[in-house]
Structure 1
């Protein structure tokens, strides 16, 4: 299972129990080591494949993980993006934690952001809408509410597309418009899932019983919102 790895990779792959952090440069085989570590844990009987959740950041990366794991005989492992994993859990538990099905995802985020930009005096061209959407996403993934944005953005020396006060106002308007539609965006998906698990101990215990072994590919890119979800999973 690990014969094709070099000595350092083998050490990492065999370190099945306890937290393990694999530090290496680009192109040095981190993902290869991670998949062999999972497959080794499953093949040696130390972990049940169905209790492993491997998360990453893009659908393409998740597909690559699944493909590599299948080739290594660990095709029962769940390899998903953070959002796909959260969506699956929230759909399943929604009747218990939300009292019904999950709200729909926002179909046209750009339109809501453009309306918010226009309302605060911005000219909602494509570049502004893109940059403002990115700034709102940064705030949400950093767990920053609209009312805290000005102070936190200044502290972080953000280069926002509008004045901080206008971004904060646009952010609040975007959130209100989304709420009026009864919809969620992708950041909400992670936030609602994390909050649901935090506030429903029985659901949290069920998720933790289902997944006993977690692997995060490219962990250095995890943002505070994703970390919050990871913390409640663990």
Structure 2
């Protein structure tokens, strides 16, 4: 799927919920894609064992060196129980000050969402049709194994972690999307020795309308297999002011 890159990850995170790592001690061991300590299949298998987790993603887009947009997403996912909560705040200065906020909560049977676009607020709630259900996917997490398939990927051991580093000249990025206009992508992934992701850093250089852009993405993952999913407070508060009890509403599904 080809997409113009401006805000691609911002759009993905707004509707689906995404490199240079900082610090760290000197590496003890470095291996290349020809001799990795684990395979893409190993990583994919480890990620599949993540039944619940919390994540925070920050994305800053630069037009040249000027900050143009910023997005912060905080989410909680419980795959076994079919629960997901996401709060996203995005600010842009491309066409004057703009902001976008969305709060989402879903169970196995129904969902509710609240959207605030520059003060214009809308909300909706619905039950899933028979045979349907929530999308619990967080693209950048479930696609991390693809980074190990890139040429010249390197893995370093730093204390209790593996640090995966990869560079590509464009095309497929860690979020699993095909990017039009990307000409350099740098990725760093921090994994525990059990191959559980702890942090992902990504820097994407791309062009749009002849201008150079850079997106810097940081994803942090916490509370693996012990996350507790709660509806965003902003969603609960707004619905309460409308006289709507979210728990009661979704219990009818």
Q: TM-score, normalised by structure 1?
A: 0.23
Greater relative CO (CA pairs within 8 A, separation 6+): 2
Which is strand-richer, 1 or 2?
2
Which is helix-richer, 1 or 2?
1
Q: TM-score, normalised by structure 2?
A: 0.22
